[in-house]
Amino acid sequence: ATKEKEFAVEGMTCASCVNRIESVLLKEQGVISASVNLATEKAKIKYVDGLLNEEDLIRIIAKAGYKASRPK
């Protein structure tokens, strides 16, 4: 099954940050789509449930240099 969740992302200061995070996410096995919004500081990620969980996605974003947090 797939899930689509929104994460809060801190630390993005220019439009290239958006592209960086999206491409890092899309390289991961299990990520179906990733849409990052600089203005709202949110990342909407669609992923395969059995391959990734929220903690994995937060860790992947952290490795790219940004602080993500769980959706409410």
Residue carrying the six token digits 């994460």: 7
Residues between 14 and 43 that touch ligand 9UX (CB under 6 A): 14, 16-17, 20
- Side by side, which strands form the sheet with 42-48? 31-37, 42-48, 2-10, 67-69
One-letter amino acid of 29: Q
Q: How many chain residues are in contact with ligand 9UX, going by CB under 6 A?
A: 5
E strand or H helix that includes residue 26: helix 15-27
In the complex, least distance from residue 35 CB atom to ligand 9UX, rounded to whole angstroms: 17
**From 1, 13, 39, 72, residue interacting with ligand 9UX (rule: CB under 6 A):** 13
List residues binding ligand 9UX (CB under 6 A): 13-14, 16-17, 20
